[in-house]
Structure 1
Amino acid sequence: MKLELGYFHVEDIVFGSKTFYENGILTINKDEALSIVFEDENIIDADIHIAKSGDPIRITPVKEAVEPRCKVSGGVMFPGVTNKLVPAGQGRTHILKGSCVLGVGKHWGGFQDGLIDMSGPGAKQTMFSQLLNICLVADTNEEFEIHEQQKRNKAIRWASMRLAEYLGNCVKNMEPEELKVIEHHPLSQRSKEEMELPSVVYVLQLQSQMLESGYNALVYGWDANRMLPTFVSPTELLDGAVVSGSFMPSSSKISTYQHVNNPTIMRLLEEHGKTINFLGVILSNLNVQLEEKERSALFVRQLATSLGAQGAIVAEEGYGNPDSDFILVINELEDAGIKVVGITNECTGRDGKSQPLVDLSEKANAIVSTGNVSQYLELGPMEVVIGNLEALARDGNSGGWSESVLPDGSIRMENNGMFCADSSTGDYHKTVVEY
């Protein structure tokens, strides 16, 4: 497949009388943008705020992050979700690089929703503090889940995708400032030199533990809980074939923004033909019952061996129960003679002394850690709060509790509730050290 990514590098975002991009400035017609949001009758109130890196702003509860993009040729955005089901990963996509749409609750949060600080010590916890964020703050009439700890957040998440596509369309007919061309050929069409390099596959374990629909990651709109491990081209993932779910402690979540910007995949593509033969991506899932976990691990092994993989990177979305899926896949691949590097976060307690993963194996001897979900944080007040700070303490945020918010607006929380703070795609610099 051949995918062209056209970059327009956004340096600032302002509101104005029309939506357009010029000389690094994205101007947004707020009324027009909100009309796109209100296409969903479930959204009863909404506004848009801009948050820039270094601003004294705290954002919570954050439900989703989507990069403003549009398809110029060869498909649609978010196939099978907000648009018709067609193949992704080919043609040209234009991108407002450096900007991001954040879906934020005006009142209600939940277990899976996170917090972002745009400045101060908290900004070091998440990559989203480094972006120009277009914050869609909305209320919905989804009364059935307002007081539920686990929320589907469908109306706000879908509105975030529609808003991101609306913004992206302002550069649809423009010539990009930078054009990145990604070609990923079928195995039978690769050169002798490529085939002689070590063959590597990337295994991405998507969060899919909820048996009820509406919570899990989507692959072309299909609930990942209802799929078996599937081989795809990396260009499909980088072009919107996977949409983030709404079930996961927030720090471990892989947002839709991160799926299309997956740094591990981008690096594997850069190394293809130089140091490795990058075979492609195996999308796997995370299950609840042991038999399902074992079946998925077996399918990953069969796919990887059939492709001729000699090495694999296995990335887990989450921790706790999914650790067993993570270790099972590593064991199966190692037993098949495939060398594995795993990427995951850890749950080692506030003192760092607890067992890092629920399940362990001597075969899992090369693990990249993205940080400790239990890291304890004390953060001072911010001048501006976008969303509802009380949601951190009131609504079951995975890193918050009833006394998380102090009277002066300062907070106490665990890293668990920081938005995508230690997800496994390799977006940020966090790790752990032994001392």
Structure 2
Amino acid sequence: MKLEIGNIHVKDVVLGSENSFADGVLTIDKEAAISYLKGEDDHITDLDIVIAHPGDDTRIVPVIETIEPRVRMDGRTLFPGVTGDVVPAGDGELKALKDCCVTVVGKEWGSFGDGVIDMGGEGAKHTRWSEIINICLVGDTDEEFERHEQQKCNHALRWAGHRFAEWLGKIVKDVEAEDTETYVFDPILKRDAARNELPNVAIVLQPQSQMEALGYNDLWYGWDMNKFLPTYVSPTEVFDGAIISGSFMPASSKWSTYEFQNFPLIKELYKHDGVDYNFVGVIMSNLNVALEQKERSAIMVRDMAINLGVDYAIVTEEGYGNPDTDYVRCQVVLEDAGIGVVGVSNESDGRTGVGQPLVVLDEKLNALVSTGNVGELTELPACKTVIGNLEAMNRDGMSGSWGYDEVLGKSARDDGSIIMEDNNWFCGDHISGLSLKTMKEF
């Protein structure tokens, strides 16, 4: 499989009366975009587009999703089973608008898995989104049945975000790419002798799939991953829209669709493929709830790895808490099979940083990479501009904020300042490998 992504670097985004791209400036016909998106889903009752730039004194909350705008040159849908028919992904040509993202924001209502982005000040250091232009799609819907629920599917707005990313991508379909990323994934059984002499390395991804009620989980070709079993897939499929983010997972622990499209851990494996090791692909696993389900998935991952001849593996989970059981068990069974493992996840050490980092631990976990502590407290002053609704932090059960604490008070204060846990930064721990954080030893 061969995937070519032609990158078009965006220097600025402005709203206007027509769509165009010139001299690095993307101009969006705002009214046409809103008309299109409302026409695709009559559940959307209110919609606006607001641009947030790096360095702006702007706080965005509640953030639902981020997506990289792209277009497929052959006309196939960008997100199979979501924005169009179920079609193959993982090969062909794309163009991507770099240095920007579609950021889906609730105008009024937040959810457990929604988060915060600060574009400037001290808060900007917590997420990568502060470094790129956020094309904020701010909306409300008539999905009254979940309005006062802590868990929300946010279906209409999430789907609007993916449609908008595809709509924006079409603006640059005829623009010449400035540079091209090429990812070739050769059939495992047809690789040359030199490649086959190298150690075999795979990555195991454990996307969010805990919710037995459908509509909250990550989707694979539009298929709810709660019904998914571990499967061998091409890394190019991950880059190419085969998987999109779900609505359920504490915000800092999520993999947004943008992160799947650009998964840095997989890109890093590609850099050394054929030189230091033979990258044999992705084992896409899951995160279910019952112990029997967890054991079944771990066994299936193990068996696939053995049959692929994997010598070393990276295992990484989306989330923490209950998923830690899957994450740890998967590493243990691989180690027991003689496969060396590195685990990548965030941890939950509590507000003081001295708690047990994972729900389950095992002495065989001897190579773990931490991307952050979800319980770490952050206190920040008010921002000049809020995109969305700051009150959602107090009212809607977002994972790292609260409406009352007998010591700390409420998360969003009357003066606009905030106090919250790391949990609430949108994809802030960037477990995909996109993280800004480093570890220090004391």
Both structures adopt the same fold (TM-score exceeding 0.5): yes
CA positional deviation for 1:173: 2.1
In structure 2, C-alpha distance between the alignment counterparts of 1:179 and 1:235, rounded to whole Å: 15
CA positional deviation for 1:74: 7.5
CA positional deviation for 1:431: 4.0
Would the aligned equivalents of 2:90 and 2:240 in 1 still touch at CA under 8 Å? yes
Q: C-alpha offsets along residues 302-357 of structure 1, whole Å, 9 cap, x if unaligned?
A: 11111110000001100001000001100110011100000000000111100000
Give matches, 1:203-218, under 5 Å: 203-218=204-219
Q: Residue 216 of structure 2 aligns to a residue in which SS?
A: coil
Would the aligned equivalents of 1:43 and 1:156 in 2 still touch at CA under 8 Å? yes
Q: Residue 21 of structure 2 aligns to a residue in which SS?
A: strand
In structure 1, C-alpha distance between the alignment counterparts of 2:62 and 2:19, rounded to whole Å: 27
Give matches, 1:16-165, under 5 Å: 16-38=16-38, 39-73=40-74, 75-165=76-166
Give matches, 1:192-271, under 5 Å: 192-271=193-272
CA positional deviation for 1:14: 0.7
Structure 1 gaps, min length 5: none
Residue 417 (structure 1) aligns with: 424
Would the aligned equivalents of 2:127 and 2:436 in 1 still touch at CA under 8 Å? no
Give matches, 1:420-435, under 5 Å: 420-435=427-442
In structure 1, C-alpha distance between the alignment counterparts of 2:126 and 2:180, rounded to whole Å: 30
Q: TM-score, normalised by structure 1?
A: 0.99
In structure 2, C-alpha distance between the alignment counterparts of 1:359 and 1:94, rounded to whole Å: 42
In structure 1, C-alpha distance between the alignment counterparts of 2:84 and 2:243, rounded to whole Å: 13
CA positional deviation for 1:36: 2.3
Which AA in structure 2 matches 1:109? G
Residue 351 (structure 1) aligns with: 352
Q: State whether structure 2 residue 274 is matched by structure 1 residue 273.
A: yes
Q: C-alpha offsets along residues 350-378 of structure 1, whole Å, 9 cap, x if unaligned?
A: 11100000000111110010000001000
Residue 5 (structure 1) aligns with: 5
Would the aligned equivalents of 2:112 and 2:250 in 1 still touch at CA under 8 Å? yes
Would the aligned equivalents of 1:58 and 1:386 in 2 still touch at CA under 8 Å? yes
Would the aligned equivalents of 2:125 and 2:436 in 1 still touch at CA under 8 Å? no
Q: Residue 3 of structure 1 aligns to a residue in which SS?
A: strand
Which AA in structure 1 matches 2:6? G
In structure 2, C-alpha distance between the alignment counterparts of 1:238 and 1:14, rounded to whole Å: 27
In structure 2, C-alpha distance between the alignment counterparts of 1:70 and 1:174, rounded to whole Å: 11
Runs of 4+ in 1 over 4 A off after TM superposition: none
Would the aligned equivalents of 1:317 and 1:423 in 2 still touch at CA under 8 Å? no
Q: Residue 287 of structure 1 aligns to a residue in which SS?
A: coil
Q: Call closer, same or farther: CA 1:393–1:432 in 2, change over 3 Å.
A: farther
Q: TM-score, normalised by structure 2?
A: 0.97
Would the aligned equivalents of 1:315 and 1:343 in 2 still touch at CA under 8 Å? yes
Structure 2 gaps, min length 5: 404-409
Q: C-alpha offsets along residues 172-218 of structure 1, whole Å, 9 cap, x if unaligned?
A: 12221111221110012211111111100010001100001000000
Would the aligned equivalents of 1:75 and 1:91 in 2 still touch at CA under 8 Å? no
In structure 2, C-alpha distance between the alignment counterparts of 1:319 and 1:371, rounded to whole Å: 11
In structure 2, C-alpha distance between the alignment counterparts of 1:378 and 1:326, rounded to whole Å: 31
Aligned residues: 435
Which AA in structure 1 matches 2:417? S
Mean CA deviation greater in 12-21 or 43-52: 12-21
In structure 2, C-alpha distance between the alignment counterparts of 1:209 and 1:291, rounded to whole Å: 14
In structure 1, C-alpha distance between the alignment counterparts of 2:316 and 2:32, rounded to whole Å: 39
In structure 2, C-alpha distance between the alignment counterparts of 1:217 and 1:224, rounded to whole Å: 6
Residue 406 (structure 2) aligns with: none
In structure 2, C-alpha distance between the alignment counterparts of 1:170 and 1:147, rounded to whole Å: 37
CA positional deviation for 1:110: 1.3
Residue 311 (structure 2) aligns with: 310
Would the aligned equivalents of 1:36 and 1:166 in 2 still touch at CA under 8 Å? no
Residue 341 (structure 1) aligns with: 342
Q: Call closer, same or farther: CA 1:352–1:432 in 2, change over 3 Å.
A: farther
CA positional deviation for 1:115: 0.4
Would the aligned equivalents of 2:265 and 2:432 in 1 still touch at CA under 8 Å? yes
Would the aligned equivalents of 1:369 and 1:431 in 2 still touch at CA under 8 Å? no
In structure 2, C-alpha distance between the alignment counterparts of 1:213 and 1:385, rounded to whole Å: 32
Q: Residue 335 of structure 2 aligns to a residue in which SS?
A: helix
Which AA in structure 2 matches 1:29? D
Which AA in structure 2 matches 1:102? T
Would the aligned equivalents of 1:301 and 1:333 in 2 still touch at CA under 8 Å? yes
In structure 1, C-alpha distance between the alignment counterparts of 2:19 and 2:375, rounded to whole Å: 42
Q: State whether structure 2 residue 405 is matched by structure 1 residue 404.
A: no
Which AA in structure 2 matches 1:199? N
Which AA in structure 1 matches 2:426? F
Which AA in structure 1 matches 2:413? L
Q: Residue 285 of structure 2 aligns to a residue in which SS?
A: strand
Q: Residue 321 of structure 2 aligns to a residue in which SS?
A: coil
In structure 2, C-alpha distance between the alignment counterparts of 1:318 and 1:423, rounded to whole Å: 10
Residue 320 (structure 1) aligns with: 321
Would the aligned equivalents of 2:61 and 2:106 in 1 still touch at CA under 8 Å? yes
